[in-house]
């Protein structure tokens, strides 16, 4: 049997790590992301698979320019809790930043299964497909996003852009007009609309 002191030491370390995690969550909620991230990473020394510490620590590492390690942390968090929506969102965004679009698309598709009414997740799947030149495939995801949030200027612009690429000019103009009506400062939508309205 292990000596009583060794068992007691492990319990103390675990309690300390749980306290660090709790404080990290509080600091993160208060907008003190750097302090929260450092504490979460400390807690991971004792709680290496704690999803909340992995997410907070991963976000901190991303802010420090350590994108690959941040992705590894978020991947571990999702493996521990496949229904951890915040982890899926952050992981998808980090994979986009890293140019790993196929993996990012899978993460946002997973998010649409977890939260079928999340318009932003559907819109991101469409945007990733469009970024890969798959404009026809992107349409159903943009349309699903608009069925959930019909007043999202960005989704109207993206759908208009995809339709323009597919030479469906009338439909593209309709969505671009809606994008401009919802966000008059959207120069990209104004410019593309002007191009499509030329004879």
pLDDT digits over 42-72, tens only? Answer: 999 999 999 999 999 999 999 999 999 999 9
pLDDT of residue 12: 81
Burial class from Cβ neighbours inside 10 Å (0-12, 13-18, 19+) for residue 93 reads: middle
User: Is 151:182 a contact under the CB 8 Å cutoff?
Assistant: yes
Question: Residue 172 carries which DSSP code?
Answer: H
The Cα-based distances of 172 to 39, 133, 139, 192 in angstroms read 49, 16, 11, 9
pLDDT of residue 2: 53
> In the numeric block, which tokens belong to residue 27?
């600091």
**How far is the first Cα of the chain from the last one, in angstroms, to the nearest whole number?**
86
Each residue of 113-140: pLDDT tens digit? 999 999 999 999 999 999 999 999 999 9
Is the pLDDT confidence value at 9 over 60?
A: no
The 3-state DSSP class for residue 65 equals coil
Each residue of 10-28: pLDDT tens digit? 558 888 888 999 999 999 9
- Mean pLDDT of the chain, nearest integer: 93
> In the numeric block, which tokens belong to residue 141?
């995801």
Question: Residue 198 carries which DSSP code?
Answer: -
């Amino acid at each position: 049997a292990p000596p009583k002191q060794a068992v007691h030491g492990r319990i103390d370390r675990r309690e300390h790590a749980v306290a660090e995690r709790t404080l990290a969550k509080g600091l993160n909620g208060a907008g003190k992301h750097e302090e929260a991230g450092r504490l979460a990473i400390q807690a991971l020394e004792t709680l290496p698979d704690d999803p909340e510490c992995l997410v907070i620590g991963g976000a901190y590492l991303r802010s420090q320019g350590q994108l690959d390690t941040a992705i590894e942390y978020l991947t571990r968090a999702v493996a521990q809790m496949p229904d951890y929506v915040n982890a899926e969102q952050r992981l998808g965004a980090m994979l986009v930043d890293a140019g790993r679009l196929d993996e990012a698309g899978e993460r946002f598709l997973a998010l649409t299964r977890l939260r079928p009414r999340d318009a932003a997740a559907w819109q991101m799947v469409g945007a990733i497909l469009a970024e890969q030149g798959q404009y026809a495939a992107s349409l159903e995801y943009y349309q699903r996003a608009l069925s959930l949030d019909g007043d999202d200027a960005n989704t109207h612009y993206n759908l208009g852009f995809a339709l323009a690429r597919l030479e469906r000019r009338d439909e593209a103009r309709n969505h671009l007009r809606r994008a401009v009506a919802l966000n008059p400062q959207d120069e990209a939508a104004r410019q593309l609309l002007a191009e499509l309205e030329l004879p």
